[in-house]
């Protein structure tokens, strides 16, 4: 799996094909999508254009998608994957991830697709009692069929990871988690790596991705990560941007990153994070920003408290 990819969350249907095409032109090979993002048809068009024009072969690319929570039941996992493959015009995925560790009640494709948090009738969906083991066994089945090259999980903590490893016949290849200096997660990163599980970090710029969703800081003293004095100071010392410092911090922890940008210059900058290293002191100063601050909390948008404590 490449170390730096393009995340497709919140990229509009109108622009995602051209953004993928441009990203491939500047060197991106990892693309992180999901059924829930609602842009897989157009994402597939961008991939196909690049392949048809000879910029890349399919085997050069690493394409990720995710199983949405309405399709956790054993009988729904394969059809959900097949819908993604059909929409994207692909024969296989390089990585298929269980998006969240909870199931929602099933919504048929012809009622609403992707359903997101809707029950198909304009109401908020509710939790379904599908054991995660059932979902994982169905993920293993599509892996064994060769429809996906790897399977993984997202948005789970250590206790659930230990449980999954107790019954998994196919170990998850990747754990995708929110990870930034306000949410350092040293123990979870160490646990995954100790089990040979790669980590993909999302929301590397912290609150930046959530501003357009109405994010409001709980405290007037809250500083956006991209504008934080410490990040800016370190960036200046290396003649890099704050975004490059944040990405480098994650990569030096052994994590892949999937930042989003519609600007070609920033796409290039986000790839250009391998020509410098952070000092031990700089890493310590960044780590000290940790607040255990989770931005992607389902309790806020569907009232399911997976991070309850």
- Catalytic residue, from 37, 71, 106, 182: name it: 37
Strand partners, 201: 177, 257
The residue whose two tokens read 């948008």 is 301
Q: For residues 134 and 103, is the Cβ–Cβ distance under 8 A?
A: no
- Report the C-alpha gap between 248 and 68 in whole angstroms: 30
- Report the C-alpha gap between 132 and 153 in whole angstroms: 11
Beta-carbon contacts of residue 154 (< 8 Å; ≥ 6 apart) = 66, 97, 98, 99, 100, 175, 176, 177
Pairing of the two strands 103-104 and 127-128: antiparallel
- Our answer to whether residue 167 is catalytic in this structure is no
Q: Single out the residue of 132, 149, 181, 154 nearest to residue 7, CA to CA.
A: 154
- Report the C-alpha gap between 119 and 114 in whole angstroms: 11
Say which DSSP state 295 is in. Answer: S
Q: For residues 54 and 28, is the Cβ–Cβ distance under 8 A?
A: no
Chain centre distance of CA 188? 16
- Report the C-alpha gap between 290 and 189 in whole angstroms: 14
Task: Indicate the burial class of 275 (C-beta count within 10 angstroms; 0-12, 13-18, 19 or more).
Answer: exposed
Say which DSSP state 133 is in. Answer: H
- Report the C-alpha gap between 206 and 257 in whole angstroms: 13
Residues that are catalytic: 37
């Amino acid at each position: 799996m490449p170390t730096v990819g393009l995340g497709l969350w919140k990229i509009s249907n109108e622009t995602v094909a051209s953004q993928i095409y441009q990203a491939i032109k500047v060197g991106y090979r990892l693309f992180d999508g999901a059924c829930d993002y609602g842009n897989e048809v157009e994402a597939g068009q961008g991939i196909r254009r690049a392949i048809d024009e000879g910029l890349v072969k399919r085997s050069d690319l690493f394409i990720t998608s995710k199983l949405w929570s309405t399709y956790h039941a054993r009988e729904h996992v394969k059809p959900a994957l097949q819908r993604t493959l059909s929409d994207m015009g692909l024969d296989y995925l390089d990585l298929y991830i269980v998006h969240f560790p909870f199931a929602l009640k099933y919504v048929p494709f012809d009622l609403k697709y992707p359903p997101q948090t809707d029950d198909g009738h304009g109401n908020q969906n509710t939790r379904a009692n599908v054991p995660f083991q059932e979902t994982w066994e169905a993920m293993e089945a599509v892996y064994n069929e060769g429809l996906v090259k790897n399977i993984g999980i997202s948005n789970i903590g250590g206790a659930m990871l230990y449980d999954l490893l107790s019954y998994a016949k196919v170990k998850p290849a990747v754990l995708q988690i929110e990870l930034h200096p306000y949410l350092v997660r040293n123990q979870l990163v160490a646990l995954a790596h100790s089990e040979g599980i790669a980590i993909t970090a999302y929301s590397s710029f912290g609150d930046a991705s959530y501003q357009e969703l109405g994010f409001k800081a709980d405290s007037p003293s809250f500083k956006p990560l991209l504008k934080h004095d410490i990040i800016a100071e370190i960036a200046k010392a290396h003649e890099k941007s704050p975004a490059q410092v944040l990405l480098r911090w994650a990569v030096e922890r052994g994590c892949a990153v999937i930042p989003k940008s519609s600007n070609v210059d920033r796409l290039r900058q986000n790839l250009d994070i391998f020509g410098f290293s952070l000092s031990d002191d700089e890493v310590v100063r960044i780590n000290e920003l940790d607040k255990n601050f989770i931005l992607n909390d389902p309790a806020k948008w569907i009232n399911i408290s997976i991070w309850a404590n």
